[in-house]
Structure 1
């Protein structure tokens, strides 16, 4: 174990130590568990101090984690929530019972963890990555706070992800699609095998993957490892009722529980899939944690779920929605939802920015048919695609029928979208977590005037 002296007034400030943490991004993605296990050993294995639920998947895992953490907290447990990436502030990633990790705890924890980095290098393990250090910080803080249970969102894949050092009470696999093929493989089968690496012998498993091949593989893995499996859509499901621009209602048909007339402030059929996944996981945790599932607490937990950047309405006149869809599967679900909610509007204006390493044509394939007005922009990220790169991915016979405007800056792109908007227009900002975070910061930092159409950026 390594003993580190606590930071003093002369040590790094919060901003300075975060800058040091962000420099670790230069190490890129280094999948594998050995270095992470050694790092955790050096900080006294905090991950062994609490039970966990680990959630992997291509899409839906962040929302599922947020819903589940809210449900668990309402039933009286102290729950840690670890998600990534963040939209605006680093400490969004690490939360206990709805409260972000304080800055002073980030400073204290990172001082301890980063202090172990040199020793890891000296012992031949290499320098820990940004995500490994951040995951270790979450584990350290959860142990320090005495959480009963941690809900952990996998960063990339599953089998070799830094979060996969725990022995979970429940392993959850959400929808699986094509993304990060350079790390996970170029077929659904290869990607599924990587994500199913979170399944440990004898743990319970919840699966909401819609691909039949992925479901079959997960069934086989659960059988081989002696795991109980709950399949969303077969064993449990949500029956949709009504929806608006901000909420939807449904009936839950669970393993033992049947609860009618539930509401959640997340829209889209895919969010009902995520809600059913979270509720099924709650049912599996019931015996282990002596939870008595109470429909009133379920209602409250669902209503108080917050998933910023997931079809989030952040402006009303005209309505502006933000969504982090950044792969073809997510774009497909987004387009399906926007067709429904857009029925009450004359036109849809899309502000779009994306990272260069994403499947840009695959994402656009779903989004282009639902709009005639597009503003292309560049998120503030090293891997961001230039707007003209995105423009070149749009076939000419498609672009000729649409109004497409290019703006390098996100603020300018938003301003252009407001300029295009009419009395009954709807604006959607999508394509990248970085774009959504930047747009959200711009929009929410301006109070909305009580006028029919207002541009917050003027």
Structure 2
């Protein structure tokens, strides 16, 4: 474990603290490193991580090195700070050695800001480190994913050349608002005067908020109609537009090797055969619905041939998520991750038994997957989903082949 990982564990008690003063102070203290390279800022309820991944891959051609900052991580903190092209499951991930060196240099800035404005949060520290790392290694550009919302997210202290909101759905309503319009008003604040704002949204009430704000500040509004495509095609189509618009402003040429559009780890990712095993990080009702639509279209199978391993976070709208997902399967195995936010597997099962006839409880994720394999026939499908923390505990190096 890196020294940074130990430090961040101690910061988790500070939680989320909206406001930009601490991250701005950190960046100023380090000489505003985020101004040394052009970048794209991507927000949205779902799809922003995949859109960032595909966009960065397209830009990382012809010798260009592209920074990529995303969240949350699946296995380790390092995944959040990457420079493409690279190797590995999460290509270009910063090494422990690089991360510790970066943290050592950053700590005086963090301590100075903490003494003046209060302790920066976990996400503020990571955002600072990511933006500074990209300047230190001399990236040609960067793609940055918003953490939560937009207006008060630490990433909004950056100065994007292009801003993107994938789409808007009801999530994090305790922080962003109770309506689509309120949430949209928060997310659109990542746009900048005189610069391009792109969205894949199609709902009229959201587009009205987006266009109104862009007109008010003088941003250039561009909408990409994506409503009739499954979510994976939406993410790829949006990324293609974003990458090309950004590249055109820098006079960069782009090509489209097939490998650029390979899947993203943890997003409808197939990790086993016979039976097929898929993992997906859907963690809110909108993500669950999009997963069901994708599953029905791209992995045509009947519920009698599917075993669902499900674990959800208790601070999400877990009942609606469960109601959306369980019709996919003949058997549902309820589990829970090690996260303190995890919903009890027993509580989930108690709810599901009112709407589904075959529900089991195996709290341990690894054992739940093993049980699913016992129940599944050779030609069946196992789907593990409900949160990032659930799929992170599915053994990736296990022998899932017959």
Measured against the shorter chain, the TM-score band is over 0.9
> Residue 148 of structure 2 is aligned with which of 156, 180, 196?
156
| 2-structure distance, mates of 1:145, 1:301 | 25
Report if aligned partners of 1:79, 1:151 keep a CA contact under 8 Å in 2. yes
1:340 is displaced (CA, Å) by: 2.6
Secondary structure of the residue aligned to 1:80 is: strand
Asked if residue 418 in structure 1 is aligned to residue 370 in structure 2, the reply is no
The residue that corresponds to 1:6 in the other structure is none
Asked if residue 427 in structure 1 is aligned to residue 382 in structure 2, the reply is yes
1:239 is displaced (CA, Å) by: 8.9
| 2-structure distance, mates of 1:298, 1:429 | 31
| 2-structure distance, mates of 1:101, 1:20 | 17
The residue that corresponds to 2:361 in the other structure is 406
Report if aligned partners of 2:171, 2:284 keep a CA contact under 8 Å in 1. yes
The residue that corresponds to 2:324 in the other structure is 366
Asked if residue 280 in structure 1 is aligned to residue 237 in structure 2, the reply is no
Change (3 A) 1:378 1:344: closer
1:121 is displaced (CA, Å) by: 2.9
RMSD value over aligned CA atoms?
A: 1.8
Structure 1 unaligned regions, length at least 5: 1-13, 241-268, 452-458
| 1-structure distance, mates of 2:197, 2:385 | 32
Q: How many residues align?
A: 395
| 1-structure distance, mates of 2:199, 2:146 | 15
Structure 2 unaligned regions, length at least 5: 87-91
Cα deviation, 1:302-361, whole Å, max 9, x if unaligned, reads: 34x441100000001210000000100110011112223443465111100111100011
TM-score (norm 2): 0.94
Asked if residue 111 in structure 1 is aligned to residue 104 in structure 2, the reply is yes
| 2-structure distance, mates of 1:393, 1:216 | 38
Larger CA Rg, structure 1 vs 2: 1
Counterpart mapping for 1:241-390 below 5 A? 269-293=230-254, 297-300=255-258, 302-303=260-261, 305-344=262-301, 347-390=305-348
The residue that corresponds to 2:38 in the other structure is 51
User: Which structure 1 residue ranges, 4+ long, deviate > 4 Å from structure 2?
Assistant: 237-240
| 2-structure distance, mates of 1:344, 1:390 | 25
Report if aligned partners of 1:342, 1:348 keep a CA contact under 8 Å in 2. no
> Residue 171 of structure 1 is aligned with which of 159, 163, 173?
163
| 2-structure distance, mates of 1:168, 1:49 | 11
Cα deviation, 1:140-183, whole Å, max 9, x if unaligned, reads: 11001111111000001111100111221110001211111111
> Residue 398 of structure 2 is aligned with which of 446, 450, 456?
446
Report if aligned partners of 2:202, 2:227 keep a CA contact under 8 Å in 1. no
| 2-structure distance, mates of 1:15, 1:95 | 16
> Residue 113 of structure 2 is aligned with which of 120, 141, 156?
120
1:76 is displaced (CA, Å) by: 4.2
